[in-house]
RNA sequence: GGCGGCAUAGCCAAGAGGCUAAGGCGACGGUCUGCAAAACCGUUAUCCCCGGUUCGAGUCCGGGUGCCGCCUCCA
């Protein structure tokens, strides 16, 4: 026990859908991680669920890198499929043009949320030869068959089928066909398309089975093996992809490359609900990422999504106030646009822009508290002189990073990790308020440690990394826009109150404060004058 | 019907056998302040029900109840 590390390295543990258990991460190559995530099908703007599905792997990748792993992260773009074709028809735009456009929009949303680009972002249209080769392999192995230019996977020939989603062939067969018409040409209703024969006017590529295009699941099998090899470490996606998408990927990839290949761990994120309901078309429970980042700072959305464990569902509370009288509108009122309290009618797009998300607002406030603390800590460090002596860093700040990391090692528990910041944050604020009870050196060194460790946390979470002044300014402006607050009016009142205070006219000063309070604004008096913020 | 998940304080939410059950919001009390606000300190739960395993269980097993998801496109 001389030069050896005192403790064995603590492994990262992650929950694996295939085994149903949490297990230590053991990578194929030591110190390296290959990770594939199902990216978007680009036919429309992303919704918040898409954002979460991209955010979860982003944080996983960031953390694994922080842990010292060399990560190759691949996230695809599906740029050819039924929905894209349907949309392109409606819009009268070529499919690939529509796909390019929404891929750009997707990147814009990801960037706003500080989601790092993947190392490789393969597109289906660029992998047609690999897809055709994979389909051909499956046909050769007797795992697929061609009918009239279509190629189907012969599910019954792959004995592991159902192992990811814990389903049995017989049970699935019972249910099959009851909800959707069965294609009589298929050997079994469970067989799924690997290659679809082209219909007139559809984009297509030549293949051994005639002109056609890839089926839905084959692209991920082809692209993951192209960029990560036949076997890699982690495969991720939304919960709903477990069946059929990932189940089919396993059948395709293992069918072609062998049963001992493909992903070692399967990571699936939970769903987002609005007002307790799964997203659907109605007003109160479907929001694009962009609608929300127009109302709140994107980082507030990011922070909010990280407050809950990635495997859990996450609910956005939704409040839709009547623009005329402020009464909260119920579901039917939201749909009709008519307020029962005052009778006012409001168009739905106006209503959508006034929606409030209380949970998100709480996250927004919390983030503001963190940025204010960071701002003050930096101001203190810039103004103070670094002391010569050594004194131990205060307890909670010293323990912050280890606690944060240990939560993250526990299946990327961002909720717990965020909780571990609270005591250190309070301690930092306490040190900033006064140096009472601690030595000068301890005060400085603790705040310095707080600042540097928070930078590491920021790197992993992708939060708290912006310039505090800029972020707080952005937040204030967005909140003013959201609530319809006139900032000029507020600042005029604050100035007027300043004069009253200078004259020690407390009654007048307090009256103005009440006026500001009525606008939803709080003033804070400090030694260097008064500042204001939202209550 | 099949498969899977969840049920922790007023609300949100960590916690996967054992020190006083994280944290946030809210509420209440206090410090600070001209008074406030912000900030800080303190108070605020025995974990859906029943049975079992164990020296010991939110934490494991069985049963029940209640939510939710997937089984069809879906993050």
Kindly give the confidence (pLDDT) of every residue in chain A, 535 residues in length, as a single tens digit, with 9 standing for 90 and above. 333 334 456 789 999 999 888 889 999 999 999 999 999 999 999 999 999 999 999 999 999 999 999 999 999 999 999 999 999 999 999 999 999 999 999 999 999 999 999 999 999 999 999 999 999 999 999 999 999 999 999 999 998 899 999 888 887 877 655 555 567 788 988 999 999 999 998 999 999 999 999 999 999 999 999 999 999 999 999 999 999 999 999 999 999 999 999 999 999 999 999 988 888 766 667 899 999 999 999 999 999 999 999 999 999 999 999 988 888 888 888 888 999 989 999 998 899 889 999 999 999 999 999 999 999 999 999 999 999 888 999 999 999 999 999 999 999 999 999 999 999 999 999 999 988 888 899 999 999 999 999 999 999 999 999 999 999 999 999 999 998 899 999 999 999 999 999 899 999 999 999 999 888 899 999 887 888 988 7
C-alpha A420/C-alpha A348 separation (Å) is 41
Q: Check if the beta carbon of residue A225 is closer than 8 Å to that of residue A257.
A: yes
pLDDT tens figures, A155-194: 999 988 999 998 888 878 776 555 555 677 889 889 999 9
* CA-based end-to-end distance of chain A: 57
Nucleotide closest in space to A501 (CA vs C1'): B34
Q: Which residue approaches B39 most closely, CA to C1'?
A: A429
Q: Check if the beta carbon of residue A530 is closer than 8 Å to that of residue A524.
A: yes
- Extract the tokens encoding A67: 């842990």
C-alpha A126/C-alpha A68 separation (Å) is 32
Nucleotides in B strand less than 7 A from protein CB? 1-6, 12-16, 22-25, 33-41, 68-75
| Predicted ipTM > 0.85 | yes
Whole-number distance in Å between A19 CA and B49 C1': 30
Q: A15 pairs with which residues across the strands?
A: A22
Q: Check if the beta carbon of residue A205 is closer than 8 Å to that of residue A96.
A: no
Task: From residues 153-182 of A, list those within 7 angstroms of strand B by Cβ.
Answer: 165-168, 171-172, 175-176, 179-180
Chain center to CA of A288: 13
Whole-number distance in Å between A299 CA and B70 C1': 31
* Alpha carbon distances (Å) from A389 to A381, A436, A447: 16, 18, 15
C-alpha A324/C-alpha A495 separation (Å) is 31
Nucleotide closest in space to A359 (CA vs C1'): B12
Nucleotide closest in space to A317 (CA vs C1'): B12
Closest CA to A417 of A311, A306, A269: A306
- What pLDDT is recorded for position A2? 33
Secondary structure, 3-state, A7-69:
CCCCCCEEEECCCCEEEECCCCCCCEEEEEECCCECCCCCEHHHHHHHHHHHHHHHHHHHCCC
C-alpha A529/C-alpha A531 separation (Å) is 7
Q: Check if the beta carbon of residue A182 is closer than 8 Å to that of residue A35.
A: no
Residue A241 Cβ under 7 A from any strand B atom: yes
Find the helix packing angle between A128-140 and A218-228, rounded to 10°. Answer: 110
pTM: 0.95
Give the H/E segment covering residue A197: strand A193-197
- Extract the tokens encoding A245: 């998408």
């Amino acid at each position: 026990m001389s030069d050896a590390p005192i403790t064995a390295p603590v492994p990262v543990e992650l929950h694996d859908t295939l085994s149903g258990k949490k297990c230590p991460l053991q990578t194929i190559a030591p110190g390296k991680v290959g990770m594939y995530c199902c990216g978007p099908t680009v036919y429309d703007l992303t919704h918040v669920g898409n954002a979460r599905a991209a955010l979860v792997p982003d944080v996983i990748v960031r953390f694994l890198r922080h842990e010292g792993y060399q990560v190759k992260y691949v996230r695809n773009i599906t740029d050819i499929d039924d929905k894209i074709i349907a949309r392109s028809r409606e819009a009268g735009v070529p499919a690939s043009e529509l796909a390019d456009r929404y891929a750009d929009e997707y990147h814009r949303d990801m960037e706003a949320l500080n989601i790092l680009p993947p190392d490789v972002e393969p597109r289906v249209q660029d992998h047609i030869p690999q897809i055709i080769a994979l389909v051909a392999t499956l046909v050769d192995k007797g795992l697929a068959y061609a009918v009239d230019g279509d190629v189907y996977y012969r599910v019954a020939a792959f004995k592991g089928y159902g192992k990811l989603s814990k389903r049995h062939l017989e049970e699935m067969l019972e249910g099959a066909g009851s909800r959707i018409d069965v294609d009589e040409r298929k050997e079994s209703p469970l067989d799924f398309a690997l290659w679809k024969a082209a219909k007139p006017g559809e984009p297509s590529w030549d293949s051994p089975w005639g002109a056609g295009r890839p089926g839905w699941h084959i692209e991920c099998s082809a692209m993951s093996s192209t960029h990560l090899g036949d076997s890699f470490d982690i495969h991720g996606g939304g919960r709903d992809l477990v069946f059929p998408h990932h189940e089919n990927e396993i059948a395709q990839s293992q069918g072609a490359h062998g049963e001992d290949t493909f992903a070692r761990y399967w990571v699936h994120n939970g769903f987002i609900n609005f007002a307790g309901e799964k997203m659907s078309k109605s007003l109160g429970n479907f929001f694009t990422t962009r609608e929300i980042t127009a109302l709140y700072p994107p980082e507030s959305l990011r922070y909010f999504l990280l407050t809950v464990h990635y495997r859990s569902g996450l609910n956005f509370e939704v409040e839709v106030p009547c623009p005329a009288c402020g009464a909260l509108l119920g579901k039917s009122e939201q749909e009709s646009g008519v307020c029962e309290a005052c009778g006012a009618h409001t168009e739905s797009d106006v209503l959508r822009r006034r929606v409030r998300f209380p949970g998100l607002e709480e996250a927004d406030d919390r983030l503001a508290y963190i940025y204010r603390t960071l701002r003050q800590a930096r101001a203190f460090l810039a103004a103070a002189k670094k002391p010569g002596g050594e004194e131990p860093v205060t307890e909670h700040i010293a323990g912050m990073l280890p606690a944060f990391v240990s939560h993250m090692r526990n299946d990327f528990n961002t909720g717990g990790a965020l909780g571990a910041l609270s005591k250190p944050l309070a301690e930092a604020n306490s040190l900033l308020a006064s140096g009472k009870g601690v030595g000068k050196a301890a005060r400085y060194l603790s705040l310095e440690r707080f600042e540097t460790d928070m930078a590491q946390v920021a790197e992993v979470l992708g939060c708290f990394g912006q310039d505090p002044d800029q972020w707080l300014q952005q937040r204030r402006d967005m909140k003013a826009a959201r609530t319809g607050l006139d900032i000029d009016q507020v600042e005029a009142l604050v100035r007027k109150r300043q004069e009253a205070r200078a004259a020690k006219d407390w009654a007048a000063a307090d009256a103005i404060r009440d006026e500001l309070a009525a606008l939803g604004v709080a003033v804070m008096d400090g030694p260097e004058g008064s500042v204001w913020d939202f209550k």
